[in-house]
Structure 1
Amino acid sequence: MNPPLYDPLSPETDQQLRPNLRRELIAKRQALPDLERRDAELTERLLQVLDALEPETLGAYCATRGEFDPMPAVTQWLAAHPECTLALPRVKEATKEMTFFAWAPGEPLRPGPYGIAEPTGEAVLNPTTLLVPCVGFADVGLRLGYGGGYYDRYLAGREEVYTVGLSYACCELHQLDMQPHDQLMDLVLTEDGLYGLDALSLTLVD
């Protein structure tokens, strides 16, 4: 297993470290060896988590910049659970808002303000379970994102949404100080295992 990044004894503040951490972690995941195996293992774990959670409305994302792509697992799970509806995010750069809209595999997507594919429909949905991309994470479920704050703002005041962070094991951080706006993930899932406050309550088959 890769040793976690981040030196807790560094004199730099957490806020100063985060931009450097993002660049380092993005480069690290984009250079990961044996990616096909890692993705297959993460996909299998995600399918097991979805089976355990049985979401009514699932929020997902379109992967970018070396993120784990959840869509193969999501598409497979939806085919077996047609009662579940899928939603993808759309952002407004001017207001820094993120809203989820209904989407089904095969429907059109268009590039958003940051070049990430977004749904084109207008049916707003509120996910009961939300898959969240993580640039990095700490084992308590603390997530490091890209710094835009979209997910943190969306989740603020939405305690009913069950959050599943998705990342690669190499992006685990030994220490990450929690900022006032940070929203903890209920669960963080990697190809190597489960992290977060709910990790002990789920048993996956290896």
Structure 2
Amino acid sequence: MNTPLYDPLSPEPNQHLRAELRRELIARRQALPDLERRHAELAARLLQVLDALEPETLGAYCATRGEFDPLPTVTKWLAAHPECTLALPRVDETTRQMAFIAWKPGEPRRPGPYGIDEPAGETVIEPTTLLVPCVGFADVGLRLGYGGGYYDRYLAGREEVYTVGLSHACCELHQLDMQPHDQLMDLVLTEDGLYGLDALSLTLID
């Protein structure tokens, strides 16, 4: 696969190249074999990470286009940790901003502007730990998203939020340009391991 050069100081990112890369990675993850096994392995690792982090407020997401769905795993973890408040994202197409709304498993959701479910409530929450979907990632914790910039804008100036990117091992990129607005993940979690700035600080039991 021809991927962009990894240049953290790149002043002029190639948007067309990133768009092509997104399409290729989405198709790749949608065609993965043994998806049930891979998701079970990723779910097990996510449970271990949540046990290690013990978040007070947790932001998750509603999966789309072959993403790993974290909500069944989060629901299982919350059953043993009722003190944690869960929130899901809601986006505003006009302002291009994203907010996290308190949500409990079983509560209603509604279709959002991009066809992704959103919580129907109104209570805004500021997550201390945030699960972030990744189309692709580099091992330093650099995330490739869908190009809308919602997560990057939300995380800008929120250094206190601990970010855990979720992706598939096949979507690791050995070369990826870093844009000025990109927010590095503290961790990136796949079915086969941990990546990112804090990867060496957590020891998971296989």
Q: Note whether the superposition's TM-score is higher than 0.5.
A: yes
Cα distance, 1:94 vs structure 2: 1.1
Aligned residue number for residue 85 of structure 1: 85
CA distance in 2, matches of 1:185, 1:15: 21
Answering whether residue 54 of structure 2 is matched by residue 57 of structure 1, we say no
Q: How does 1:102-117 map to 2 (within 5 A)?
A: 102-117=102-117
Aligned residue number for residue 193 of structure 2: 193
- Residue identity over aligned pairs, in percent, reads 84
Aligned residue number for residue 9 of structure 2: none
CA distance in 1, matches of 2:52, 2:14: 35
Question: SS of the residue aligned with 1:19?
Answer: helix
Question: SS of the residue aligned with 1:122?
Answer: coil
- The answer as to whether partners of 1:30 and 1:65 remain within 8 angstroms in 2 is yes
- The answer as to whether partners of 1:90 and 1:119 remain within 8 angstroms in 2 is yes
Cα distance, 1:5 vs structure 2: 6.4
Answering whether residue 29 of structure 2 is matched by residue 6 of structure 1, we say no
Cα distance, 1:45 vs structure 2: 0.0
Q: How does 1:1-206 map to 2 (within 5 A)?
A: 6=3, 8=5, 14-206=14-206
Cα distance, 1:14 vs structure 2: 3.8
Q: Give the residue type in structure 2 aligned to 1:145.
A: G
CA distance in 2, matches of 1:35, 1:5: 25
How many aligned positions are there?
Answer: 201
Q: Give the residue type in structure 2 aligned to 1:67.
A: E
Question: SS of the residue aligned with 1:101?
Answer: strand
Q: Give the residue type in structure 2 aligned to 1:6.
A: T
- The answer as to whether partners of 1:5 and 1:171 remain within 8 angstroms in 2 is no
- The answer as to whether partners of 1:60 and 1:70 remain within 8 angstroms in 2 is yes
TM-score normalized with structure 2 length: 0.95
Cα distance, 1:17 vs structure 2: 1.2
Shift of the 190–153 alpha-carbon distance from structure 1 to 2, 3 Å rule, reads: same
Q: Which runs of 5+ in 1 are unaligned?
A: none
TM-score normalized with structure 1 length: 0.95
CA distance in 1, matches of 2:4, 2:34: 27
Q: Which runs of 5+ in 2 are unaligned?
A: 7-11
- The answer as to whether partners of 1:60 and 1:87 remain within 8 angstroms in 2 is yes
- The answer as to whether partners of 2:138 and 2:174 remain within 8 angstroms in 1 is yes
- The answer as to whether partners of 1:5 and 1:173 remain within 8 angstroms in 2 is no
Q: Give the residue type in structure 2 aligned to 1:106.
A: G
